[in-house]
């Protein structure tokens, strides 16, 4: 038993935790001009990372970059649904910082809320799938292109609670987020041999501009933000805590850091237990 204990202790490397969990790492974050993406950028920067903000909104992206005011944070305008844009953004990041350790595929849009399946149209279908699914595939592809020779890296994509439990978001958006979980597992299966970890995060409802549109019309009030908070609180499982963009960013930070160095092909659900409970039964209400 003593020999076994000695073997186990010797097999575990000493802790290398610091207060800056991404010190010296280089990250690229898509959809980073606002909402969850902006929170990820600010948190990564506070933990010592050099970060490239990638977003289609040039003015807002530049404003976030200027507000941080550090040469370790740069901006690159990019439409993630266009492969050449993603390729150039990743090449730009490597040229500026010399390497690439983390890619976060966060950019996403939704289709019109409250539509039934009979009302889905090809325009919205193409737009949502192009940005959410193709954009994630392109991000994974060009992250892998840089990371495979390095034999290390972390790719993290944003899925949604809508991919874990049915009936909470529009059909096309839901389909796109299911695709991200499948992609995460499949790409992790391929890239594990190169030491590259691939994971995703699925949050419950977070107060962002996109999320506000999903409050049902009969639940809305004059104060849309207050109405969203009330609606989400009423439907949530975990009470006394409001999910914020910073909470989601913390989950992404964990997966990007060396603390998650043996975690891959996982979908980290940040929903306060919402998806694990059938709230229609009302047994505990």
What does the alpha-carbon distance between residue 252 and residue 36 come to, in Å, rounded to a whole number? 10
The pLDDT of residue 216 = 60
Per residue in 220-256, pLDDT (tens digit) is 566 767 767 777 788 888 899 888 999 999 999 999 9
What does the alpha-carbon distance between residue 201 and residue 270 come to, in Å, rounded to a whole number? 7
Per residue in 67-85, pLDDT (tens digit) is 999 999 999 999 999 999 9
Question: Where exactly are the structural domains of the chain?
Answer: 22-204+244-270
- H or E, element range at 24: none
The pLDDT of residue 283 = 58
Read out DSSP for 196-233? EEEEEEEE----SHHHHTTS-GGG--SSHHHHHHHHHH
The pLDDT of residue 213 = 64
The pLDDT of residue 7 = 42
Q: Are 201 and 39 contacting, i.e. CB atoms less than 8 angstroms apart?
A: no
Half-sphere exposure of 74 toward its Cβ, with a 13 Å CA cutoff? Answer: 17
What does the alpha-carbon distance between residue 104 and residue 106 come to, in Å, rounded to a whole number? 6
The pLDDT of residue 201 = 98
What is the set of active-site residues? 160, 173, 177
Q: What are phi and psi of 12, to 5 degrees?
A: -95, 120
**b/e map of 143-166 (b: 16 or more CB within 10 Å)?**
bbebbbeeeebbbbbbbbbbbbbe
Low-confidence ranges of the chain (pLDDT < 70): 1-18, 209, 211-222, 224, 227, 281-285
Q: Are 205 and 269 contacting, i.e. CB atoms less than 8 angstroms apart?
A: no
Name the pTM for this structure. 0.90
The pLDDT of residue 109 = 92
What does the alpha-carbon distance between residue 60 and residue 26 come to, in Å, rounded to a whole number? 22
What does the alpha-carbon distance between residue 257 and residue 214 come to, in Å, rounded to a whole number? 32
Q: Are 154 and 199 contacting, i.e. CB atoms less than 8 angstroms apart?
A: yes
Q: Could you tell me which CATH number the domain at 22-204+244-270 has?
A: 3.40.50.720
Which parts of the chain fold into alpha helices (H)?
2-11, 35-46, 58-68, 83-97, 122-129, 135-150, 171-191, 209-212, 224-235, 245-256
The pLDDT of residue 160 = 94
Q: Identify the CA nearest to 34 among candidates 42, 25, 26.
A: 42
Q: Identify the CA nearest to 30 among candidates 259, 252, 250.
A: 252
The pLDDT of residue 15 = 43
Q: Are 270 and 246 contacting, i.e. CB atoms less than 8 angstroms apart?
A: no
């Amino acid at each position: 038993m003593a020999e076994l204990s000695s073997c186990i202790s010797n097999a575990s490397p000493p802790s290398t935790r610091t207060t800056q969990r991404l010190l010296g790492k280089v990250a690229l974050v898509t959809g980073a001009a606002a909402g969850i993406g902006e929170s990820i950028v600010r948190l990564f920067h506070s933990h010592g990372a050099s970060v490239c903000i990638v977003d289609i909104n040039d003015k807002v992206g530049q404003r976030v970059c200027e507000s941080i005011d550090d040469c370790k944070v740069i901006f690159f305008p990019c439409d993630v649904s266009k492969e050449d844009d993603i390729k150039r953004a990743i090449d730009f990041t490597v040229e500026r910082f010399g390497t690439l350790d983390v890619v976060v595929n966060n950019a996403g849009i939704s289709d019109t809320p409250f539509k039934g399946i009979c009302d889905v149209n090809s325009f919205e279908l193409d737009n949502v799938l192009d940005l959410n699914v193709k954009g994630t595939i392109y991000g994974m592809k060009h992250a892998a292109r840089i990371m495979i020779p390095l034999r290390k890296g972390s790719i993290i994509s944003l899925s949604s609670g809508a991919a874990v439990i049915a009936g909470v978001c529009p059909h096309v958006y839901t389909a796109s987020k299911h695709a991200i979980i499948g992609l995460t597992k499949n790409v992790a299966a391929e890239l594990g041999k190169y030491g590259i970890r691939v994971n995703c995060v699925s949050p419950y409802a977070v107060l962002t501009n996109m999320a506000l549109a999903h409050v049902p019309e009969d639940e809305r009030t004059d104060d849309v933000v207050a109405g969203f908070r009330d609606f989400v609180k009423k439907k949530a499982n975990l009470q006394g805590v409001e999910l914020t963009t910073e909470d989601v960013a913390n989950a992404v930070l964990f997966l990007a850091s060396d603390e998650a160095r043996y975690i891959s092909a996982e979908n980290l659900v940040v929903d306060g237990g919402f998806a694990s409970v059938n709230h229609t039964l009302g047994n505990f209400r």
